[in-house]
């Protein structure tokens, strides 16, 4: 189980490790996006390219809050809750924050208690 933190306006934020092709790990904060229902992780393209991950699909059309947009899909290696996963990662040029998708909630339980300051995943 990993503990998260609440952002200034109640955002749900967790730490996630990205594993580059050379094995180097990078810890980042990711925002759990309740509107990101079909994916696992969304990152800015330059971040994904710097990790050396392989592209598995180009220009997939997806509906976003800003309308239809196109994303490249990469095979990413991440560590969440101490477990390594290989997941499809959406990459786009205008992703201002790294986003954690709701697909994680199919495997890991989420506990949110604002009053008690408790936020856990796993």
Query: Which residues, 6+ apart, have CB-to-CB distance to 5 below 8 Å?
Result: 13, 119
Residue 108: per-residue pLDDT = 93
Residue 104: per-residue pLDDT = 95
Domain chopping of the chain, boundaries: 2-121
pTM of the model: 0.91
Residue 122: per-residue pLDDT = 86
Mean pLDDT of 95-116: 94
Residue 98 reports pLDDT greater than 80: yes
The domain made up of 2-121 has a fold known as Cathepsin D, subunit A; domain 1 (2.40.70)
| Cα 68 from Cα 100, distance rounded (Å) | 19
| Cα 46 from Cα 93, distance rounded (Å) | 8
Residue 67 reports pLDDT greater than 90: no
User: pLDDT (tens digit, 9 = 90+) per residue, 18-64?
Assistant: 999 999 999 999 999 998 998 999 999 999 999 999 999 999 888 77
User: pLDDT (tens digit, 9 = 90+) per residue, 73-94?
Assistant: 999 999 998 899 999 999 998 8
| Cα 20 from Cα 7, distance rounded (Å) | 27
| Secondary structure (H, E, C), 54-111 | EEEEEEEEEEECCEEEEEEEEEEEEEECCEEEEEEEEEECCCCCCEECHHHHHCCCEE
Reported as half-sphere exposure (CB side, CA atoms, 13 A), residue 82 has a value of: 4
In 10 A of CB 53, how many CB atoms?
Answer: 21
Query: Which residues, 6+ apart, have CB-to-CB distance to 27 below 8 Å?
Result: 15, 16, 17, 18
| Cα 51 from Cα 41, distance rounded (Å) | 14
């Amino acid at each position: 189980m990993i503990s998260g933190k609440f952002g200034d306006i109640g955002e749900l934020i967790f730490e996630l490790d990205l594993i580059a092709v050379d094995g180097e790990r990078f810890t980042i904060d990711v925002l759990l996006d309740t509107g990101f229902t079909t994916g696992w992780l969304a990152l800015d393209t330059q971040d994904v390219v710097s990790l050396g991950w392989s592209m598995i699909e180009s220009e997939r059309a997806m509906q976003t809050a800003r309308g239809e947009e196109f994303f490249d899909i990469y095979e990413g290696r991440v560590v969440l809750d101490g477990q390594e996963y290989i997941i499809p990662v959406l990459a786009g040029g205008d992703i201002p924050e790294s986003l954690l998708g709701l697909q994680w909630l199919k495997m890991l339980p989420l506990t949110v208690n604002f009053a008690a300051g408790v936020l856990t995943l796993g």
